[in-house]
Amino acid sequence: MDQNSCVTIQKEWDIVGARQLGREFSKKVGFGTVDQARIATAISELARNIYLYAGNGRVCFEIIDNVERKGMCMIATDTGPGIKNISQVMEDGFTTMGGLGAGLPGVKRLMDEFDIQSEVDKGTTIRATKWLR
Ligand SMILES: Nc1ncnc2c1ncn2[C@@H]1O[C@H](COP(=O)(O)OP(=O)(O)OP(=O)(O)O)[C@@H](O)[C@H]1O
Ligand SMILES: [Mg+2]
């Protein structure tokens, strides 16, 4: 299997495509159905944020396979408006667009590792990892 693959997010339908690709990828890495669903949900939240707030961007998947452990990570990148206050958007219920504000805190809970890099007017990169156990 390919070590990584990417999907461009440009239109609303791409969110569905990212979710499906992510689920297939996680299955090939060896995750069970419950983790596949968690990973697919995390991907669709990140893809939806890209679509809503940045307009376009991409989500890539990478397999991590080293001596100690195996897993996968997703990297969501855009060159949109960026996030001014990262600790604020990680609070449950914080939204600027009338959403539930559950997306990013939810992704953090669904995955094992989570990291946001963002700069106003430059864009946002979110990396989230899940380990096989
Ligand atoms: N890629 C992004 N670029 C710019 N701002 C973002 C991006 N992703 C999230 N944000 C900001 O972070 C806020 C919180 O995002 P989060 O996904 O947690 O909630 P939401 O999208 O508002 O609602 P929900 O996902 O529950 O429908 C958003 O309202 C938005 O202001
Ligand atoms: Mg969201």
94 lines ligand 1 (CB under 6 A): yes
Measured by CA distance, the residue closest to atom 16 of ligand 1 is 103
Per-residue model confidence as pLDDT tens digits over 68-107: 999 999 999 999 999 999 999 999 999 998 899 899 999 9
Question: Please, what's the b/e burial string for 74-88 (b: 16 or more CB within 10 A of its CB; e: otherwise)?
Answer: bbbbbebbbbeeeee
- Is 89 in contact with 53 (CB distance < 8 Å)? no
For residues 39 and 43, give the distance between their C-alpha atoms in angstroms, rounded to a whole number: 6
Q: How many CA atoms lie within 13 A of 58 on its CB side?
A: 7
Measured by CA distance, the residue closest to atom 9 of ligand 1 is 49
Per-residue model confidence as pLDDT tens digits over 51-63: 999 999 999 999 9
- Is 132 in contact with 31 (CB distance < 8 Å)? yes
How many residues are given for the chain?
A: 133
For residues 33 and 101, give the distance between their C-alpha atoms in angstroms, rounded to a whole number: 26
102 lines ligand 1 (CB under 6 A): yes
